Structure 1
Amino acid sequence: MSVQLVLDSKSTLGEGPSWDSEKEVLYWVDIVGKKIHRYDPVQHENTTVELEQYPGTIQPREDGEVILALQNGFYFYNWMSETLEPITDPEKHLPGNRFNDGKCDPAGRFWAGTMNLEEQQDKGALYRLDTNLEVTEKLNGLSISNGIAWSPDHAYMYHIDTPTKQVMRYDFNMETGEITNPKTVVTIPDDQGSPDGMTIDEEGMLWIAHFGGAGVSRWDPEKGECLEFIDVPAANVTCCVFGGKDMNELYITTARKGMSDEDLEKYPEAGGLFKLKTKVRGLPSYPFKG
C-alpha cells in the first residue's frame, strides 16, 4: 500500500479530519493557519474558510451543518450562510489553552480535548458535549489531548495524550457516555515519533498518525501489536480518517510546523493532504446529534 498526494496544501498544521457520509465530502482544518476546509473528492474541489481563532477539529452534524472545537470552545458552522454560532466554552477561565482533536461518539455526543498553547504539561482536559448542549469534563491533567476512537461494538473508547506515547482504552457506556477502567493498550516506540490523531477500522484495529514519525501505523489493541507501518512523505503526520463511498480510503493530514529548511527539502509535500486505499473498511465519522 502506498499513499498518494491529494492536495499539496502546504498546511502549517493540517489536522482534525472527518468524513461526511451524507455529502461524501471530507472536512479538515489547518490549526495554525486558522482555516477549515471541505474537500469534495469527486469534483476535486477544496473549499476553505478563514477563521479568527485556531480550529482543533471539525465534525459533521446530523442537520447538515458541522460542529467545531475552536480555540475558545464549541461552535456550529453553517457552510451556506458562512456563520459561526457559539455553543459553550468550558475553559473560559483558561485563556492559555485551546481545543485540539475530537470526534463524535456513536450516540452523537461530541468529545474534544484541550492543550496549552505553549504545550505546558498537564494543563489540558477532555470534554463531552451532549446532544442537549451540556458539557462535562471527562478527563483532566492531560498535556496534548489527541486521537480518539470507539470500538466497533461500542464497548470501548480509545484516547491518546500525545506525550505519554500511549493509547489508553476505557470501558465505554454507550447509553450514559461514561468512561471507566483505563488501560494502556498501545505504546509507540521511541524511534517512531509521537502518536497524534487516530481512527479505527471495522475489524477493531487502530490506525495511528505519527508526528515526527513519517507514517501511519495499524495496531491490534487486544495484543498491543503493530500490524503494519505505512510510510507517508511528510515527517509530521497528524491525523487520519476513513472515507470514500466504500469507506476504504484513508485520508491523512500532515504538518509543516517545526520543520527546518533541510526537513522541507526532504519532505517537499509536507503539510499536504494524502490518501491511502486500504484493504479494510473503516468505521464512519459519527455526526453530532444535537
Structure 2
Amino acid sequence: MEQASSEVMLLCDVNSILGEGPTWDHHSKKLIWVDIIGKRIHTFEPASGEVRTITIEQKIGSAVPRVEGGLVIALENGFHTLDLETEQLTKRIDPEKDMPGNRFNDGKCDEAGRFWAGTMDMKEKSPSGSLYCLETDGTVRRMVEGVTVSNGLGWSPDNQTLYYIDSPTKKVMAYDYSLERGEITNPRVAVTIPEGEGFPDGMTVDSQGMLWIAHWDGWQVSCWNPETAEKIASIPVPAAQTSSCTFGGENLDELYITTARVGLSEEQLKDQPHAGGVFCIKPGINGRPASFYGG
C-alpha cells in the first residue's frame, strides 16, 4: 500500500446530526450520503462544489442509486424509491411494519442489483433487528436475525464473501456468498475491533479486498486484512463519531468519510467543530465502483 497523504481534508461542512451511508455515483460524478436524524439526503458534485439537500419526512437509513435513475432508500418504515427530479417518494415494502421500535440503517447493493439493508433497535439495546435483501422484483428476504445495530456491508472483489457489521458486537462477520442466488452461509468472525477504539460502523472494501472501517467513538477509519485479521493502517479523523466511508472521485482513489455530531456537548464541539461534516483523503489505494439497485 502506498503511503497515505498526511491528513484528511474537510470536504463539506454540512453539520449533519448523523451523517451516514456515503455512496459515489460514478455516472453523475456525485457523492450521495444521508443525515439519518436530520432526515436529509445530500449530494455533492466535486467538479462544481455544489451541494444539494433533499428533506424527507422520516429518518433515512441509507440511499443508493438505481440503474434506471433516482435512488432506492431505506426509511423508518421500509423500502422506498425516490425520483431525484420530482423528489417524489414511492413506497415499495415494509418488512417490519409491526415493529415500531425499529428503524432501517445502513444499506448497499450487490453486483446483481439487490439492495441489502438492515434494521436496528432505536434504543440500541435489543437484538430486534435483521438484515434484509430487497430483490430487483421488489420481494424481500430476511437474511440475518438477532441484530442490535445493523451497520456496515461490503463484498470481496470476487463476490465470494459478504462482510457485515452488527456494531455492539465490535466484530466484522464474513459469510460465504452466492452472487447468483443472493445467499449467505458459513458465518465467521473476520475482524474484531480492539477495546478502546470505539465501535465498527460503516465500511467499504477496496480493490485489493481490504476492509476500511469507520470507528464510532474512535476518531478514525482503519484498514484491515480480512484474511489475517491484521490492522494495516489507521487514518485519524477530527470527529469522534466517524460513521462510514466510501471510495470515490474520478479514479476511485479518494476516501470520503462521514461523521456525526449527535449528542455532543458545546464543549465537545469546540474540540471537533466540523463534526457532522464529510472529510476526504487519498489513502494510496483504489476502491471499486458502487453497484446500483436493479429494480
The bucket for the TM-score relative to the shorter chain is over 0.9
Residue segments in structure 1 that go unaligned for 5+ positions in a row: none
Counterpart Cα distance in 1 of 2:289 and 2:264? 32
TM-score normalised according to structure 1 size: 0.99
1:52 maps to 57
Counterpart Cα distance in 1 of 2:59 and 2:27? 26
SS of equivalent residue, structure 1 residue 192: coil
1:34 aligns with 2:39: yes
1:238 maps to 243
Counterpart Cα distance in 1 of 2:194 and 2:125? 23
Picking from 105, 110, 132, the partner of 2:110 is 105
For residues 89-109 of structure 1, give each alpha carbon's deviation from its aligned partner in whole angstroms, at most 9, with x where no partner exists: 000010111000010011110
SS of equivalent residue, structure 1 residue 111: strand
2:217 maps to 212
Q: How does 1:171-210 map to 2 (within 5 A)?
A: 171-210=176-215
1:85 aligns with 2:82: no
SS of equivalent residue, structure 1 residue 263: helix
TM-score normalised according to structure 2 size: 0.97
1:136 aligns with 2:141: yes
Picking from 156, 159, 162, the partner of 2:167 is 162
SS of equivalent residue, structure 1 residue 262: helix
SS of equivalent residue, structure 1 residue 163: helix
Residue identity (%) = 51
Counterpart residue identity of residue 17, structure 2: T
Picking from 250, 253, 258, the partner of 2:255 is 250
Runs of 4+ with >6 A deviation: none
Counterpart Cα distance in 2 of 1:195 and 1:204? 18
Counterpart Cα distance in 2 of 1:23 and 1:11? 23
1:265 aligns with 2:249: no
2:123 maps to 118
* RMSD over aligned Cα atoms: 0.7
Number of residues of Structure 1 aligned to a counterpart in Structure 2: 290
Counterpart Cα distance in 1 of 2:54 and 2:199? 29
SS of equivalent residue, structure 2 residue 268: helix
1:10 maps to 15
For residues 224-261 of structure 1, give each alpha carbon's deviation from its aligned partner in whole angstroms, at most 9, with x where no partner exists: 01000000000100000111110001111000012122
Counterpart Cα distance in 2 of 1:127 and 1:37? 24
Counterpart residue identity of residue 3, structure 1: V
- Quote how far apart the aligned CAs of 1:278 are: 2.4
Counterpart residue identity of residue 196, structure 1: D
